[in-house]
Structure 1
Amino acid sequence: MELSLPQWGQLFTLSMVAIALGMDAFSLGIGMGMKGVLHRQIVTISGTIGLFHILMPLTGIMIGRYLGTFVENIAVMVGGGLLCFLGINMVWQAFRDSREATIFDTGRTLGVLLFSVSVSLDSLSAGLSLGLFEADVWLTVVLFGLAGGLMAGAGFFLGQSVGGWIGDYGEAVGGVILFFLGLRFLM
């Protein structure tokens, strides 16, 4: 089956958003990987992050679709504004001194869940925006889940081998991507 031009556009846009949101998990994974994490923990944490990168945008999309019925004429502007805000917030968070990764004990189930939820909160906001745009739900959650889980795992493994200079920049790049995607919808 061949994709039409609008379908390719949606696939490209959703892939970019998924990668941008996965940059947060990637950069935090690098930070935690530098501290030394067992391979079993990497798989568990990355899988949990991937799961929450599915559940959070799914919740956001449902809320966005519900709200979209009330704000039909301004839905694109609101969604674009949310993506811009989310991007700016990611860039700001990238260069803050304190990191969430240091306060969660990922050796315990509660720590893994709290860490995964904190990394996936951006996906909730993005899901809300995409719900206002009537994005394809299944494509969105599959791309978000894969990107979140795989990028977290890649971050952990990279963090074990390279060091801290990539972490902040990876999250900042993700924020810039989201900001410009949001601007695209505002113009």
Structure 2
Amino acid sequence: MHPISILFLGLAMSTDAFAAAVGKGAAMADPRWRDALRTGLVFGVVEAITPLVGWALGSFAERYIENWDHWIAFGLLCGLGLHMIWKAVRHADTAAGPPRTGLWAIALAGLATSIDAMAVGVGLAFIDVNILLVALVIGLCTFAMVSAGVMAGRALGALIGRRAEIAGGVILIVVGAVIVYEHIFAG
């Protein structure tokens, strides 16, 4: 695989994580760069591991992952999005605002947005590619995009206040719907 192709693959795999990070940043009370980098690191590590897992599964799991990856991602993203909306509505009467996002919630969101990378890993098992390099590039692109996305979400959150968490939930649901749409109508 050409290095430019690997870079584009890394950027493409990180776009849904970026959208989810904007939503997470908007939902966080007051994210700092430390929070953004932590979130980026978790998403980046998860996004780097999933193509390795997909590559290892190879042809055995290809038909299962390829047929269901979009539905799994959709279910996880919708569940997270609905939970964010529920928290925003539930906490609408409190002055403290929504709680900070926990590590497990971040990891689950990272997993939800990286299932497509696992399917890509399965496909890469059948071509001559350095999977460790590809996984590293995907992870680094995701780290950078998610860290920037959280801080972009912070600005959005400051502009629209408590409605930011609802917007973040809607963004996660839309990302899930787009994943399903692309898989159903691709090709």
Task: Return closer, same or farther for 1:137/1:125 CA change in 2, 3 Å cut-off.
Answer: same
State the AA in 2 paired with 1:157. Answer: A
Matches within 5 A, 1:139-158: 139-158=137-156
1:20–1:173 Cα contact (<8 Å) kept: no
Give the superposed CA RMSD: 3.3
Q: State how 1:33-48 maps to structure 2 within 5 Å.
A: 35=29, 37=30, 41-48=31-38
1:98 aligns with 2:102: no
Identity of aligned residues (%): 13
- The answer as to 2:110 corresponding to 1:120 is yes
Say yes or no: does 1:182 pair with 2:180.
no
**Counterpart residue number, 1:63:** 53
Which of 158, 161, 165 is equivalent to 1:160?
158
| Deviation of 1:44 (Å) | 0.7
Residues of 1 paired with 2:137 and 2:66: CA distance? 18
Contact 2:27 2:157 in 1 (8 A): yes
Partner Cα separation in structure 1 for residue 136 and residue 82 of structure 2: 33
Question: Within 2, Cα distance between the matches of 1:130 and 1:142?
Answer: 16
Query: CA separation in 2, counterparts of 1:173 and 1:15?
Result: 19
Q: Which runs of 5+ in 1 are unaligned?
A: none
Cα deviation, 1:134-176, whole Å, max 9, x if unaligned, reads 2832332232222211111111221012231532332222222
Among 38, 49, 53, the alignment partner of 2:39 is 49
Give the conservation status (yes or no) of the 8 Å contact 1:90–1:172: yes
Task: Tell me the TM-score normalized by structure 2.
Answer: 0.69
Structure 1 residue 79: Cα displacement: 2.9
| Structure 1 residue ranges (4+ consecutive) displaced by more than 3 angstroms after TM superposition | 13-17, 95-104, 113-116
TM-score by length of 1: 0.69
The 3 A distance-change label for structure 1 pair 50 and 158 is same
Distance 1:18 1:84, change over 3 A: farther
Q: Is the 8 A contact 2:44 2:142 kept in 1?
A: yes
Partner SS for 2:32: helix
Amino acid in the other structure paired with 1:82: D
State the Cα distance separating 1:48 from its structure 2 match.
Answer: 0.8
Q: Secondary structure at the match of 2:171?
A: helix
Residue of structure 1 in register with 2:120 after alignment: 130
Aligned residues between the structures: 166
Give the whole-Å Cα distance in 1 for the aligned partners of 2:138 and 2:119: 12
Q: In the alignment, residue 44 of structure 2 is paired with which amino acid? A: I
Quote the offset at 1:45 in angstroms.
0.9
User: One-letter code of the match for 1:167?
Assistant: G
Return the offset for 1:17. 4.0
Partner of 1:23: 19
